[in-house]
Amino acid sequence: MSTRQDVAREAARLLYNRSVKEYKDAKEMAASSLGSRALPSNYEVAVELDTLTDEYEGPGRQRMLIRMREIALDVMRTLGELSPVLIGSTWRGTVRKGSDIDIVVYHPNSIKVAQMLGKYLIIEAEQTQFIIDGMPRTSTHITMVIDEHPVEVVVRPPENREYYRDERCETYGDFKRGIGLRELEKLMSSDPLRRFIPRRRNR
């Protein structure tokens, strides 16, 4: 009988190979293929995915993380007056091949933000609309490629800041605080490989 760890490992493999994008789908597919009823938590799958990535990518993964954080730092300095925040795997320190750099700013005018990013090659700027807790939310996703790394700057309306301040991570269960420009500058000078993941899932 396959264990939870077996299912988590297979789900991690599916995610690493990008056969699926969502943890839920990966866990269900893994359990089905292994004939198991065990469904690990997202956190357990994330631990296996991290281990698997280290096995596949070796020391190059650390070099990639540093480079991606350097790129994030450059972009965030460009957007400095908007108090940008680095989130996602580049903040966490869990990047793998194909990972992107996610930066969030709060501003009412996404066109102005795009203009501030004019020195980079902007591939796309797309607005999305969705409903959360019965309230309409909007965001604009500005996609760029810098040194072959995909970068996404998400522009959210200032009035939505309070909602996202208490947003929890579906994988790790902690608050998705991210890291600001000054914090990232200190990190890059003192501990550029530092990780921001809880030792166990919160809540």
For residue 83, what pLDDT is reported? 96
Residues 43 and 142 in one domain: no
Q: Is residue 200 part of a domain?
A: no
Residues 71 and 127 in one domain: yes
For residue 203, what pLDDT is reported? 52
Burial of residue 166, with CB atoms counted within 10 A of its CB: 0-12 exposed, 13-18 middle, 19 or more buried: exposed
Burial of residue 52, with CB atoms counted within 10 A of its CB: 0-12 exposed, 13-18 middle, 19 or more buried: middle
- Quick: pLDDT tens for 49-76: 999 999 999 999 999 999 999 999 999 9
- Quick: pLDDT tens for 27-47: 999 999 999 988 999 999 999
Residue 84, pLDDT > 90, answer yes
For residue 179, what pLDDT is reported? 97
Residues 31 and 102 in one domain: no
Residues 64 and 151 in one domain: yes
Residues 122 and 175 in one domain: yes
Mean pLDDT across the chain: 92
Residues 81 and 113 in one domain: yes
For residue 134, what pLDDT is reported? 74
For residue 115, what pLDDT is reported? 96
Residues 29 and 111 in one domain: no
**CB neighbour list of residue 1: distance below 8 Å, 6 or more residues apart:** 36
For residue 172, what pLDDT is reported? 92
Residues 137 and 41 in one domain: no
Q: How far apart are CA 24 and CA 35, in angstroms?
A: 16
- Quick: pLDDT tens for 117-141: 999 999 999 988 877 677 777 899 9
Residues 102 and 135 in one domain: yes
* Region for 83 from its dihedrals, namely left if φ exceeds 0, alpha if ψ lies in -120 to 50, beta otherwise: left
Range of the domain at 47: 4-57
More confident residue, 26 or 133: 26
Nearest Cα to Cα of residue 203 among 177, 175, 162, 163: 175
pTM of the predicted model as reported, rounded to 2 decimal places? 0.90
> Domain boundary residue among 57, 74, 89?
57
User: pLDDT category, 21, cuts 50, 70, 90?
Assistant: very high
User: pLDDT category, 161, cuts 50, 70, 90?
Assistant: confident
Residues 140 and 171 in one domain: yes
